Amino acid sequence: MATNMTGREELEECLRRLNEIGAALSVEHDLRALLERILLEARRFTGADAGTLFLAGEYHLTFEITQNDTLGEFTGSREAPKVPAVPLNKESASGYAAVTGKSLNIKDVYDEQGEYQFEGPKLYDRMTGYRTNSMLVIPMQDHEDQVIGVLQLLNARDTAGAFVAFSDQDEGLIHSLASQAAVAVNNVRLIQDTEQLFESLIQIMATAIDERSPYTGGHIRRVAERTMELARAVNDGDSGNLRGVHFDDEQLDEIRIASWMHDIGKITTPEWVVDNPLS
């Protein structure tokens, strides 16, 4: 934060930014974009040079997003699929935070007299040529105190750009941000699960309708496939009457759902009508 602010002004600015971030996170429905925003805002709050975000599974943490200004690295799991999962145990910093629900604020990972000795940061340094000094590792806990992920920040910077330890204020602020982030991630997952359930139900009903008659077997599925081929062709086209038309991802989803539902009314149509090859 700016050094010309008083302590009260600094606190008010932090609270204002937390409110803004919370509002922004609540309307983001793309999980990848949400995770990138969470990590970026955590780094901005603390001046962290680098950071990584993990999501918790049943037995391990999965790498999702990493950002590193010094190395110029901004990647996710799709760009770096070989990043290994982190076991849910106390042998790593992120694993420790996930298992215990406690944060870690390590001033120097190479301090042999320090309370915590984790080899993960040192291994990362040997692999990349980076030099990790300070670490702030915060569990992302939802409203039920379940750890759904871990924020791991590296190397806070002072106003001169030098690497320093993370402050107690940094730790408190990132705790607040991590709580907001956990709720936002759960909301996005709930929306995605609901959408997938809805689409599955539609496809089950469509399949049932198709199987009622040998004359309509596979009809709805073929219509859905051809419709999406046409929609993608419109997006790829650069000439003709539709050259200015482009469907975004949300519109393509709407078209796909509509195509699967186009014959849904037949679920109440008598079989003798459906079986009529002239109908």
Percent of the chain residues topping a pLDDT of 90: 23
The number of folded domains in the chain is 2
- Give residue 28's pLDDT: 73
Is 279 inside any structural domain? no
Is 95 inside any structural domain? yes
220: which residues sit within 8 A by CB, 6+ positions away? 206, 207, 209, 210, 260, 262, 263
Tell me the pLDDT tens digit for each residue of 48-61: 999 999 999 888 99
Contact 185, 32 (CB under 8 A): no
Is 147 inside any structural domain? yes
- Kind plus residue range of the DSSP H or E element containing 124: helix 120-128
- Give residue 2's pLDDT: 44
Is 206 inside any structural domain? no
The range of the structural domain enclosing residue 113 comes to 7-188
pLDDT surpassing 80 at residue 69: yes
Is 2 inside any structural domain? no
Tell me the pLDDT tens digit for each residue of 171-206: 988 988 888 888 888 888 888 888 888 888 888 877
- Name the residue among 103, 81, 99 with its Cα closest to residue 90: 99
Based on the fold, state whether residues 90 and 226 are members of the same structural domain.
no
Tell me the pLDDT tens digit for each residue of 109-160: 888 676 777 888 888 888 888 999 999 999 999 888 889 999 999 999 988 8
Q: Would you tell me how many other CB atoms lie within 10 Å of the CB of residue 226?
A: 11
HEC readout, 228-271: HHHHHHHHHCCCCCCCCCCCCHHHHHHHHHHHHHCCHHHHHCCH
Is 194 inside any structural domain? no
Is 101 inside any structural domain? yes
pLDDT surpassing 70 at residue 214: no
Parallel, antiparallel or unpaired: strands 73-76 and 86-87: unpaired
Based on the fold, state whether residues 39 and 129 are members of the same structural domain.
yes
Contact 118, 81 (CB under 8 A): no
- Give residue 10's pLDDT: 66
Tell me the pLDDT tens digit for each residue of 1-39: 445 566 566 666 767 777 777 777 777 778 888 889 889
* Domain termination residue (choose one: 188, 223, 253): 188
Provide the whole-model pTM: 0.71
195: which residues sit within 8 A by CB, 6+ positions away? none
Parallel, antiparallel or unpaired: strands 60-68 and 86-87: antiparallel
- Residue 275's pLDDT band, with cuts at 50, 70 and 90, is low
Based on the fold, state whether residues 114 and 246 are members of the same structural domain.
no
Based on the fold, state whether residues 223 and 184 are members of the same structural domain.
no
- Give residue 227's pLDDT: 92
- Kind plus residue range of the DSSP H or E element containing 220: helix 219-236
